Chains A and B, each alone.
Chain A
Amino acid sequence: MLTVVGIVLLPDTPELIWGFVAFALLMAAMFKLVFPKLNQMLEDRGSAIQGQIEEAERTRQQAEELRRQYEQQLADARVQAEEILAEARTQAEEVRREAAARGDEEAQAILARAREDSAAERGRLVNELRGQVATLSVELAGKIVQKEIDAEQHRSLVDQYINELSGLN
């Protein structure tokens, strides 16, 4: 072998055989031991990532749903609050109006009673006055005429006079 001068360009048979054996063994190891596991792992990783993405998407949707519910609840609460406020306002207004109406009525009633009272009092006074005027007139007439006139005639005369008098009022 060492008698050869220069670089050997022809392949060495044992190296060709054993080299190919080594290469074939490496290829067998790659095909049987490495790549099946590698591909399995890549599949697992893919599904794991897919699962995580789906999980994240689910969580996001749940969060979104919750957020929507909370917003809905908040909006409901706001509407309710407004309704309550409006109702309170209406009630207050009603109460105020009722109170005002009742006050008005009472005032009217008081006024009416006062009117009635004053009318009654006036009637009473007129009657009393009428009696007194009649008595006084009779006494006065008696003194003037100096004679007893028919009492009954006299009284009607006085009444007529008073009526005329009150008609002037």
Chain B
Amino acid sequence: MTTMPVIAAAEWGGEFEGALDPISALFEFPAILDLGPLSINRTILIAWFMTLVAGLIFVVAFRNPQIVPGKLQAACEAIVEFVRENIALEIIGPRGTKFVPLLTTFMVFIFFMNFAKITPFMMLPPTSRAAWPLFLALTAWVVYVGVGIKEQGFGSYFKELAFPPGVPKVLYVILTPIEVVSNLILRPFTLAVRLFANMVAGHILIVITLVAIHVFLPSFPVGWSLGVFALLVSPAVFGFELLIIILQAYIFTMLTAVYIASSMEPAH
């Protein structure tokens, strides 16, 4: 991962300051305002700003909703419509409508957090920090376990979960630990890790591309071609990252819907 800055430093003559910083320098930011567990750092400021933007867009879009929508309202309606039709109704079914606000919040929040990765002056997705995918996955976990308990009753939900019906009793020796771990631990864990790893990788890719341009482009003739190459592929890298940003927001929301759906219908 640190190869590129090392090459850069070597080509530069060993004077590239910060090139040999540990990779955590790309993610870790010191507290701007030190308040102990309530300290505020750059990541949190980015997240707040993006949350504010996301909230404002939707609140303004539906502040005075028109029957014939304007551009902003139509765009936001399209997003909600997508969540309703392609996630809630398709995965959960007709009863999925009541989860549309929650699922929309998940998708919009994750999208805007991810989008900070390619937003100038931010260039850091809060979701590439373990805390963010973690609390999102925990929220999803609380929701789908809560729905399961509410729909099937506490005992029934956990019984169905640990002892899936229609299986020979002997198999429960193997199946029950797998089911419990898979449903209650692996699900939120994979949700969080998938988002986290994608954002970390994307952030590193972006940083390497930009650092390569920054370092190699001015160093004619040594390594200059690498700088030109990095400059030429950078739009493709940004485009690719935009795709990942949207895709991960969608996948997280979609899987949350799948888990909610599995909590709503017992015995499957």
Contacts and interface: CB of A to CB of B under 8 A. Distances in A.
Band of interface residues on B: 35 or more
Nearest to A35: B101
A18 B27 contact: no
Contact of B47 (A13, A18, A33): A18
Interface of A: 1-2, 4-20, 22-23, 25-27, 29-31, 33-35, 37-38, 40-41, 44-45, 48
Nearest to B43: A15
Contact of B105 (A5, A10, A30, A40): A30
A106 B254 CA distance: 111
Contacts, number: 134
The 7 closest A-B pairs by CB, nearest first: A41-B65, A11-B131, A15-B131, A16-B131, A22-B51, A11-B130, A14-B39
B67 A8 contact: no
A11 to B, nearest CB: 4
B63 A37 contact: yes
B51 A23 contact: yes
Interface of A is mostly: helix
B37 A33 contact: no
12 contacts: A2-B24, A4-B28, A5-B24, A8-B129, A11-B129, A15-B43, A15-B131, A23-B139, A30-B101, A34-B61, A35-B100, A41-B62
Given A8-B28, A11-B130, A18-B48, 8 more contacts: A8-B130, A14-B40, A15-B44, A25-B51, A27-B109, A29-B58, A37-B62, A41-B62
A31 B98 CA distance: 11
Contacts of B35: 14
Contact of A6 (B22, B30, B38, B43): B22
Interface in B5-32: 21-25, 27-28, 30-31
Contacts of B24: 2, 4-8
Contact of A41 (B27, B67, B134): B67
A4 to B, nearest CB: 5
B130 A10 contact: yes
B20 to A, nearest CB: 12
B132 A6 contact: no
B6 to A, nearest CB: 15
Contacts of B58: 29-30, 33-34
